[in-house]
Amino acid sequence: MNSYNPYEAPKADVSAPMVDEAGIDEVASAQKLIIYAILTYFAAAAIRAYMGPVGLLVALGALLMGLVGTYRLCSGLGFSMASRVILIVLMFVPLVSLIVLLVLNAKATAKLRSAGYRVGLLGASR
């Protein structure tokens, strides 16, 4: 006789395992910083259109957030020192810096999703 019960709950562990890699928390916090820098860049452009020099101060804050976030994210993802330096230098070029931040954000999102994090508009959460 077959002892298979079609109404029995599954016995397999179907939840996605959390991968605890070294530096994944650093990647998550750096990604939030990069997302905030991207949003601040857009806010700085809008503020600069209406208030002039105040927008430059906001853009400077976005640049600093982007620099710190880029360095921390490159460290967490294990980039070489040469690529870190190149990305930091590219952060000082106005439009290129925004593209660099978007590409780094995409790389961080892929890494965090593979580690089991949920990634939303404002960063990752477990």
Query: Rounded to an integer, what distance in angstroms lies between the CA atom of residue 10 and that of residue 110?
Result: 30
Q: Are 118 and 126 in contact (CB under 8 A)?
A: yes
**Can you give the residue ranges of every domain in the chain?**
24-116
Q: Are 105 and 122 in contact (CB under 8 A)?
A: no
Tens of pLDDT along 64-110?
Answer: 999 999 999 999 999 999 999 999 999 999 899 999 999 999 999 99
Question: Among residues of the chain, what percentage have pLDDT more than 70?
Answer: 90
pTM above 0.85, yes or no: no
